Structure 1
Amino acid sequence: MSKVKVALVQVSCVADKQSNLAKAIEKIKEAAAKGAQIVCLQELFTSLYFCDVEDYENFKLAEAIPGPSTEAISKVAAEHNVVVIASLFEKRTQGIYHNTTAVIDADGTYVGKYRKMHIPDDPAFYEKFYFTPGDLGYKIFKTKFATFGVLICWDQWYPEAARITSLMGAEILFYPTAIGWATSQDEATNNEQYNAWQTIQRSHAVANGVHVVSVNRVGFEQDGAMKFWGGSFVSNPFGNLIYQASHDTEETTVVEIDLAKTDSYRTHWPFMRDRRIDSYQPITKRFIDED
């Protein structure tokens, strides 16, 4: 089908895992009632963003995928005929954990998962303490309503990830996200950071001729030291914003996108045609020294 309705679920989270899961399920139902066909939840939606500290107790938040959360989501997906993109903390085995997104089809079938490839390590974002880098490669998911790719948060900054996923046949790039501002920052810095975050993702839409859907959380965490900036958005294949959420309000919004736009934009702006794939080998190097 050419047109598909996607839902962005932008919410705040609490410390209790089951409360967050229950909230997500209610938001999926709300989105379905608004006509959604694909529902994207934010990164690590079953918990507070625990990577603000290095604490071994937080590993207890992890679960198997498929597991309890995917089972609960599968039921509501089947009941309401919606595809769900669910970002979870995966326990793969003893001592190996991943930041992983599961995809559930509209009949409740578990389609598969993507493990976050790029893992940050910055103040208040100590993800390398928790997550082993993904080893499944980049993925696309063929579902009832669309074929799409999922990349996760820090993956947003890497054009290589968006390009490869698009080349695999993704019609839409989804980015579940958890990113915010330090409350000690000034407004100019806040604006610069958000604009950079949005701009790089809109550039992926332009370069690859696909829609980009980015879903972030909102609210204060870390005892008020971090404000997640919301601002979830949908970009068309030429970087034009179709929708942008507020920075501080929970929102469940359904946006219709036309997948036929990809062919139109790729034909009139033939970036894919003019790629010089014979010249790109240096991209596999960490850095290119003059000698």
Structure 2
Amino acid sequence: MKKNIKIGIIQQANCDSPEDNRRRIADKVRTLAENGAELIVNQELHDTLYFCQTESTDLCDYAVAIPSAVTDFYASLARETSTVIVVSLYERRAPGLYHNTAVVFEKDGSIAGKYRKMHIPDDPAYYEKFYFTPGDLGFEPIDTSVGRLGVLVCWDQWYPEAARLMALRGAELLIYPTAIGWESSDTPEEQARQLDAWVTVQRGHAVANGLPVVAVNRVGHEPDPSKMTNGILFWGNSFVAGPQGEFLFRAPSDCEATEIIDIDLSRSENVRRWWPFLRDRRIDEYGGLTSRYLD
């Protein structure tokens, strides 16, 4: 039997006002819901600018508790629009202990579940280890009224192990809220290679696991407050791929975008019958995967 769901995505350019960013997200959620969206996915850390370009303890003030007034805002929005909403928050778990956390709100406004980002980068302009403690909730899908969601976050999207574990635990689709872009010193050729790699690796997760993939990135230029670099130009290109890696939607690189994409989750069953990768895995020979490196 078909299991169609309508997925709404929000690719947004952010400003330095969390209140304004949330207001614009809410307007877009309402519009998507009015047009039939059942599941709405936002980009990574959508309430603020991408503050990880610099290291400053003052920016830890962006962190919010779960629950809090901010989660109440999104809970009310989910209840008002009767949609499942995936949000990405800077979670204040305890004083000095913070996570990069995706929270999934059910249609009635309750929290269906959360996922704490597991892989934390530490690169020029992406100083996330300064702000985020690695996740400790594992790779566990979140059950909702629209399906079993394999929610991961940004840097997790480069790791086939994360996608595979979500698939092995019964995820029906993989979701990646994202914040990734170009640094100004990269040549056009290098920029093209980076974008192509980002798209390709995630389409590979769709193919290898026979699951749809939803990747939602931010867009627009955000300056570096330290002025050590020229900031990040987030490359947009949010996309949805089917279980054979085929594009179902791809957003532009230079502007905001909202879209509703119709996905038949039951199609994964046929794809996995044609390409039975899970059947043919040599699980008896994969012990080395738990080693850092095999000398």
Q: Answer whether TM exceeds 0.5 for this pair.
A: yes
For residues 243-254 of structure 1, what are the structure 2 equivalents within 5 Å? Answer: 243-254=249-260
2:251, 2:52 → 1: CA distance? 24
Superposed displacement of residue 117, structure 1: 0.2
1:183, 1:246 → 2: CA distance? 19
What's the CA shift string for 1:70-96, capped at 9, x where partnerless? 211111111111000000000000110
Specify the SS of the correspondent of 2:122. coil
For residues 61-140 of structure 1, what are the structure 2 equivalents within 5 Å? Answer: 61-140=62-141
| Structure-1 residue corresponding to 2:48 | 47
2:19, 2:106 → 1: CA distance? 22
2:235 paired with 1:229: yes
CA contact (8 A) 1:10 1:217 kept: yes
For residues 12-23 of structure 1, what are the structure 2 equivalents within 5 Å? Answer: 12-23=13-24
Specify the SS of the correspondent of 1:21. helix
Superposed displacement of residue 136, structure 1: 0.8
Match of 1:281 among 287, 290, 293: 287
CA contact (8 A) 1:184 1:225 kept: no
Gaps (5+ residues) in structure 2? 225-229
TM-score, normalised via structure 2 length: 0.96
Aligned partner letter, 2:108? D
| Structure-1 residue corresponding to 2:245 | 239
TM-score, normalised via structure 1 length: 0.98
CA contact (8 A) 1:66 1:110 kept: no
Gaps (5+ residues) in structure 1? none
2:252, 2:21 → 1: CA distance? 21
Specify the SS of the correspondent of 2:76. helix
2:147, 2:168 → 1: CA distance? 15
| Structure-2 residue corresponding to 1:7 | 8
CA contact (8 A) 1:88 1:101 kept: yes
1:21, 1:138 → 2: CA distance? 28
1:65, 1:138 → 2: CA distance? 19
Aligned partner letter, 1:160? E
2:35, 2:185 → 1: CA distance? 38
Aligned partner letter, 2:37? A
| Structure-1 residue corresponding to 2:32 | 31
User: Comparing 71-80 with 113-122, which one deviates more in the overlay?
Assistant: 71-80
Query: Which stretches of structure 1, 4 residues or longer, exceed 3 Å deviation after superposition?
Result: none
Aligned partner letter, 2:129? K
1:237, 1:254 → 2: CA distance? 18
Aligned partner letter, 1:90? E
User: Comparing 153-162 with 218-227, which one deviates more in the overlay?
Assistant: 218-227
2:271 paired with 1:270: no
Superposed displacement of residue 51, structure 1: 0.2
Aligned partner letter, 1:240? E
Equivalent residues, number = 289
| Structure-1 residue corresponding to 2:227 | none
What's the CA shift string for 1:157-194, capped at 9, x where partnerless? 00000000111111010000000001222211111000
2:184 paired with 1:178: no
Superposed displacement of residue 66, structure 1: 2.2
User: Comparing 59-68 with 93-102, which one deviates more in the overlay?
Assistant: 59-68
2:31, 2:184 → 1: CA distance? 31
Superposed displacement of residue 235, structure 1: 0.5
2:32, 2:150 → 1: CA distance? 20
What's the CA shift string for 1:122-149, capped at 9, x where partnerless? 0000000000000111121111111111
1:255, 1:47 → 2: CA distance? 26
1:280, 1:34 → 2: CA distance? 46
Aligned partner letter, 2:172? E
CA contact (8 A) 1:21 1:69 kept: no
Aligned partner letter, 2:258? T
CA contact (8 A) 1:114 1:151 kept: yes
